[in-house]
Structure 1
Amino acid sequence: MAKNLIVKSNQVVEAGYELTTNEQRLILLGISKIPKEQDVNFNVGYEITAQEFAAAYNIHPKTAYRELKEATNKLYERSIIIKTEKQTMKVRWTSSIITDNSYFPDVSSDENWKRVILFFSPQIAPYLSNLKENFTQYLQSDISNVSGAYTIRFYELICQYRTVGKREITINDLRFMLNIVDKYPLFYDLKKRVIEPSIKEINNKTPMQISYEQRKKGKTVVSIVFKFKEKNKQTETPTAMPKNSVFTALNQKTVEIPTEVVKQPQNANLSDLDKRVRAITGSIAKNNLASRFQYGNESPLEMMKRIQSEITSHEIADLWQNKLESMGIIF
């Protein structure tokens, strides 16, 4: 399962770019092949065969060659705009793409596209490898049946807040991230062509269930509030559990949390937000609730560090506190 784990920096998840569905599929397969907890070696390429491409996305083997060809055709020219605290940069996804063909896509026939080798650019690589904090991860198999390019982006955006279950995105930010600043100027068209088809496909073809609400300023829609949960997660029933009781965890698998995560530093000069983060993660550990928030093959330590990195504002801390209070925890 770990072999098809996709891990991206949150800055890449929220970056501005536009890729076709097949281009995203190819990029994501390449990312899934990057060794975890290791820096990318710029001299190492990641091979994706037509057979792998077909199996990963449930594509008919006879059309996989054409799909792989289409994915590679303009990928080298594609760029991504990443915003950091200090700067905004526009970089290429790949530094080179190697194929076994005598000619590149325009003249090579479909059946010659048996494999490609991707080399990620030095500028994008640090945002895809050896990430210790502020990252999003999900399984490639989660989106194996998805056909919409926007759907993949929406899925990543909700996975970033998976354990919170709620996320608000302004329309301006959404337009930047999807690279549709000048496209679908009317919100009605944006909703019908982008938002609603993506939500429908997520609900029908992925492990997540999602709904949304519109936030308005006057008559203008200024943001979208997404609410989501995993389909295989049972809905919590807070009234059935006494508050601040160990009974809230009796039916859960007990997971030991490393002491270095639970233990709080003595006389630490912490901000109010830091104190809230520690209170939240400490409550998860002390009440044996780790198994409710782990994803994939994530270890308890990795899970706790991820949650700590996700709580970047008091608003997100409020969401976490409300969630834990609904499970019987008192702060």
Structure 2
Amino acid sequence: MENNLKVQGFFLIDVDVVALNNAGKNVMSHFDNGVATKSIIKNGRTYTYVSGQAFRYWWREALQKNYDWRLSPIVRENKIAYTNANPIEYPDDDIFGYMRAASEEETDEKGKIKKKNITVTRVSPLKNSAVVSACAVRPVENWSSMARQEGDSVPYGKQEYSAVMKGMFSLDLNMVGTFSNYNKSGYQNLSDKLKKEALEKGAVEINDIFDSERKLVRLPVKTRLQRTLDTISALKNIVGGAMQTNNMADVTPKFIILATTSTGNHPFSHIATSFGEKDEKVKLNISALKEVIEEYRRNYVGKIFIGKRAGFFDDDTNELSELQKEYSDIVEFGPVNAMIDAYCEQLKQQMK
């Protein structure tokens, strides 16, 4: 396996009349219990979004429900909470990272009890953006009420919107199932006990390519590959969003780009652009896609897989097909799930 390989993903979702991620009380509402959706201002325009944390929650749940991941138990103490911090046993600790600040008592050679710092942290190999509307959106407040009881109904307001939303993510393939054990902030992934347990279960020590004097602990390739494939494949079945009872939406990708690169920068961030007098419309920028294919051609490892769902941006289907023909040595184009599966097949070769 080559060093420094990254999965780079870009996707679009298409939702109608939703409130995917709320921000609490709407101070602009006429209702005492009005709820605002999350939004942000850019260049004077309003864009709705789903926080990166919320999207990670959906992703983790998809892995638990559809790929039988046993999630790391959450421990709560006073006002803090942390997972088990065991990436050997729990794949979500490996992929999503953790921080567990703790200490234990030990007896020194003089018989005195001392506290030993056993804090462990892991920077997540999986980075993702917020999922933000690709064009300006004006949420509307919808009036609702609880009216099944006797007497006056109880009114409340909630903001809703329709939008094409974009997101991106990056997965560091070298970090998956690979752990450092350095006594340095951010690098103490495993306790000494967990390191020993990992080696007993088939993990091996490898050289750290960035520090020749140190060793990393790496799980068997079969385990690392399965965790990677599950993480990418889960996008086909991802479910989530607030107020799904009355505002159900499909948040699986309707357009996706997947590629492996030898660098960390994400090349596909501006493939969807807004236009119109008020930036209220979205289009695929095929010329921008061609540009990043050309400009980063040396950085792609294997092919770029582009998936599009029928019924979504159908006016661009022919141009995307022509793009695939023009760059047939490096681009594959087809339905979303088929392209996710095809990319996963490529990953099997790249992670050997």
TM-score grouping bracket, smaller chain normalisation: under 0.3
After TM superposition, the score normalised by the length of structure 2 is 0.25
After TM superposition, the score normalised by the length of structure 1 is 0.26
> Relative contact order (C-alpha < 8 Å, sep 6+): which is higher?
2
Larger Rg: 2
Higher strand share: 2
Higher helix share: 1
